Amino acid sequence: MRLADEPYFSILVLCFNVEQYLGEFLQSVFAQTFAGWELVLVDDGSEDTTGSLIDEAQEAYPEKITAIHQKHAGQFVTRMTALDKAQGAYVVFADADDCLRSDALELIFECAAQRPDALIQFKYSIRADFSSVDGPKYPQTVELKDSVLSARDYMLCACESNFNNLWNKAIPAKFAKLGEGYSKYKGVAIGEDVIYLMGVLKQIDAVVALDEVLYFYRQHPSSVMHVFNPNNFHFQKAMCEAIEGTAKRWKDERIEDAVKKKRLILCVESVRYLMSSNYNFSKLHKAVRDICSDPFLRQSLDKRYYSELSWKRRVLVRLIEHKWFFMVAVSVCFERARLSALSS
């Protein structure tokens, strides 16, 4: 039983160089119509005034805000740091440059009261007034029954659609704190949300699909997803490992097929990801050879799923399959030049 003065929601926020947006985010939290929340703000080694802004907020509202400072460690480690301080029955992750709709926690609470052990997923908008519905999009192969999915069906969604974001979900706290087995992923900088979500899916039984736009997601061209990281392929392998590990929970042919298809797509995208590099052709050719020769990628080339790729990706995967690495590099280089010309 929870005490009356204990928070129902722990809102956990990674803060890194967000001085421009933090005030707006804090306003959206304090505007909530549901008062039973706490806010854990973790300054991940910011280089601007974010740290001092967090301290000011904590000093003003010590009963509501916990402020933590650490050297820059990345999202996965920072998330674990915040979870250690969480006291709520539910955990809500948020980015410090985004906003919550004023009745978000109230509506999530109403769902949680009916399904207290369910993960609750709500819709988000890329417009500050919450006027558009930009996700998540449920695949047609998954049937929503009274807005509730089984964990099995949600696993299919996670494989077939872009369901990896954590900031549009509320997670029961007892399922949110993963075991030591996930500490090996602390260095992962791309796909860490997927890895974390797989750890949660190993435990839950149901997901409530809340049909409300409750979160404003601010898009940034300079985010981690838009900045080239030479270790991307290793991160994709870690993501596949986590997905395959969770899929073992169910002996389901649909999930096994979806996971194999997902693995093929992630490997192909790892090659296409090189388009965001500034490598000269020689370095690009070497990177292509290293990735396309990797046993993990070679084992992912399952012809049964080639037909479900776009025509450009089908051409690319055939080149990879036949080890025509020079032509793969030419293809990546040509596409990079085309995209650069379109953006200029």
Mean local confidence (pLDDT), 193-221: 92
- Among 209, 225, 241, the domain boundary falls at 225
Helix/strand/coil (H/E/C) assignment for every residue in 216-261: ECCCCCCCHHHCCCCCHHHHHHHHHHHHHHHHCCCCCHHHHHHHHH
| Structure letter (DSSP) for residue 135 | B
Give residue-wise pLDDT tens across range 98-142. Answer: 999 999 999 999 999 999 899 999 999 999 999 998 888 877 666
pLDDT over 50 (residue 162): yes
Same domain, 148 and 44: yes
Same domain, 65 and 182: yes
Contact 20, 47 (CB under 8 A): no
Contact 89, 37 (CB under 8 A): no
Give alpha helix (H) positions in the chain.
22-30, 50-60, 75-85, 104-114, 151-160, 173-176, 192-201, 232-247, 253-272, 281-293, 295-300, 311-321, 325-343
pLDDT bin (cut points 50, 70, 90) of residue 284 is very high
Same domain, 33 and 151: yes
Same domain, 179 and 309: no
- For residue 205, the model assigns a pLDDT of 95
- For residue 252, the model assigns a pLDDT of 93
Same domain, 145 and 30: yes
Domain extent at residue 330: 251-343
Mean local confidence (pLDDT), 8-23: 96
Output the CA angle 196-171-44, nearest 5 degrees. Answer: 55
pLDDT bin (cut points 50, 70, 90) of residue 187 is confident
CA atoms of 45 and 148, how far apart (whole Å)? 39
230 belongs to a structural domain = no
CA atoms of 276 and 90, how far apart (whole Å)? 38
Same domain, 103 and 191: yes
> Which candidate, 245, 297, 242, 248, places its Cα nearest to that of 272?
297
2 belongs to a structural domain = no
Same domain, 78 and 201: yes
> Which candidate, 231, 226, 241, 242, places its Cα nearest to that of 187?
231
- For residue 217, the model assigns a pLDDT of 95
Contact 28, 103 (CB under 8 A): no
- For residue 140, the model assigns a pLDDT of 67
Same domain, 202 and 272: no
- Among 207, 225, 243, the domain boundary falls at 225
240 belongs to a structural domain = no
| Average predicted confidence (pLDDT) for the chain | 92
Output the CA angle 259-265-270, nearest 5 degrees. Answer: 125
| Beta strand 119-125 pairing with 206-216 | parallel
> Which candidate, 57, 80, 72, places its Cα nearest to that of 16?
72
pLDDT over 80 (residue 257): yes
CA atoms of 74 and 14, how far apart (whole Å)? 9
293 belongs to a structural domain = yes
- Among 181, 210, 225, the domain boundary falls at 225
Measure CA 221 to chain center. Answer: 17
- For residue 289, the model assigns a pLDDT of 97
Cross-strand bridge partners of residue 12: 40, 93
CA atoms of 130 and 77, how far apart (whole Å)? 30
**Number of structural domains found in the chain:** 2
CA atoms of 237 and 174, how far apart (whole Å)? 28
List of residues 6+ apart from 133 with CB closer than 8 A: 123, 125, 213
Amino acid identity at 55 = D
